[in-house]
Chain A
């Protein structure tokens, strides 16, 4: 049976679907975090040169990847909303921004924690780190710009432009270690292969999957509130059981 995906591009139908998906993504994410941490700390061996400090990468690398991908997806949704004037796209972009900002913050924070014992400095104005910091500011700018305009549709359009223009920063972050002579190391895992121990790879990819599922769960939960807020004047919202039944039902 073919699924009509366009059906779920309307807030009316997407609201219910998101509500059903959130617990699945949340539980799967929690399970994968537990497995990833177990492999990362109990199975993966100590690094020959970095000692135990290298274990920061199991949260640092997934957070960095998520911060970049979430920005691109957010900009994609914002562009869809701007071009086709679709309500849900703009709502999705708004829902993703805080999560993306938090992943950018975690990436910078854990990077600093790793940098101190390895480089002897919490922070250097390296191209990779500086461009990641700019990414955090772009997220914060998107959130601030969106919340500073009262009319939600105008706010969507203004913030969408910022998101689209800012997306040029993502390839700069990714290629910065190739384009410039940076202190930050290049990718350890490449298409041509890797020298990384298999348990280290397993821990990193499990944590990456856990972060993805967490981001999806939180974004879907947040977008449900945004849909309710934006569509509160509509009949379908007033007919929702959680609205009609009053307190105690969320």
Chain B
């Protein structure tokens, strides 16, 4: 069955999977990336902080 026929027989599935699922997947990926960036940045800052403390001691 071609996509043209399928989309006309299942318009709501087409709208949901094609548009909303993709949009929310994009949002989910962005949230994961933001959280990962935060985690990595905090690790780098803590590492610098620990090195400074060791040097002071």
- Chain A residues with CB under 8 Å of chain B are 37, 41, 51-53, 55-56, 59-60, 63, 98-99, 102, 105-106, 109-110, 113-114, 116-117, 214, 218, 221-222, 224-225, 228-229, 232-233, 237-238, 242-244, 246-247, 250
The residues of B that contact A228 with a CB separation of less than 8 Å are 38, 41-42, 45
The residues of A that contact B22 with a CB separation of less than 8 Å are 106, 109-110
Most buried by A among B11, B15, B45: B15
| A106-B26, A117-B8, A242-B42 known, 9 other contacts, Cβ within 8 Å | A102-B27, A116-B4, A222-B37, A225-B38, A237-B45, A238-B45, A243-B42, A244-B49, A247-B46
- Chain B residues with CB under 8 Å of chain A are 4, 7-8, 11-12, 14-15, 18-20, 22-23, 26-27, 30-31, 33-35, 37-39, 41-42, 44-46, 48-49, 52
The residues of A that contact B8 with a CB separation of less than 8 Å are 117
The residues of B that contact A117 with a CB separation of less than 8 Å are 7-8, 11, 14
- A59 to B16 Cα, complex, angstroms: 11
The residues of B that contact A222 with a CB separation of less than 8 Å are 34, 37
A-B contact count (CB 8 A): 88
- A221 to B35 Cα, complex, angstroms: 8
- What are 12 A-B interface contacts by the 8 Å CB criterion? A52-B15, A56-B18, A63-B23, A98-B33, A106-B22, A113-B14, A116-B4, A218-B30, A221-B34, A229-B41, A232-B45, A243-B45
Check A250–B38 contact: CB distance below 8 A.
yes
Among residues of A, the one whose C-beta sits closest to the C-beta of B48 is A232
- A72 to B45 Cα, complex, angstroms: 32
The residues of A that contact B33 with a CB separation of less than 8 Å are 98
- A150 to B32 Cα, complex, angstroms: 25
Among residues of A, the one whose C-beta sits closest to the C-beta of B36 is A225
Among residues of B, the one whose C-beta sits closest to the C-beta of A214 is B27
- A56 to B20 Cα, complex, angstroms: 8
Among residues of A, the one whose C-beta sits closest to the C-beta of B29 is A102
Check A218–B31 contact: CB distance below 8 A.
yes
The residues of A that contact B20 with a CB separation of less than 8 Å are 37, 59
Among residues of A, the one whose C-beta sits closest to the C-beta of B44 is A232
A250 and B39 contact, Cβ closer than 8 Å, known pairs A51-B11, A222-B34, A232-B48: yes
A52 and B12 contact, Cβ closer than 8 Å, known pairs A232-B44, A238-B52: yes
